[in-house]
Amino acid sequence: MENDILHQILKNQELMFNELKELKHEVQTVKDTTFRMEIEHGDKLQALYEGYINNQQSIQSQHEPRISEIENTVERHSLEILALKNAN
């Protein structure tokens, strides 16, 4: 009877050890996958960010002169409208 109980305890302990070993392997696999994804996605995000910055700079350099010209025109028109209102 005691031998059977001891045998069952050892068997259960061996099963638990094997399950723990399998869990450790699965956790390591998840860690490796997560690390690989962070590296790959980090590079992609960096490229996207650099593209965004380049695009912003390009838009600013292309449109800044036109925006300034439009602002000046609007300001001139505002002054002309004000002068016309005051003239009446």
* DSSP letter assigned to residue 64: H
Per residue in 64-73, pLDDT (tens digit) is: 889 999 999 9
Confirm whether pTM is higher than 0.85.
Answer: no
Domain limits, the chain = 1-62
**Residue 52 reports pLDDT greater than 80:** yes
Per residue in 29-39, pLDDT (tens digit) is: 999 999 999 88
Q: What is the DSSP track for 3-55? A: HHHHHHHHHHHHHHHHHHHHHHHHHHHHHHHHHHHHHHHHHHHHHHHHHHHHH
Q: What length does the chain have?
A: 88
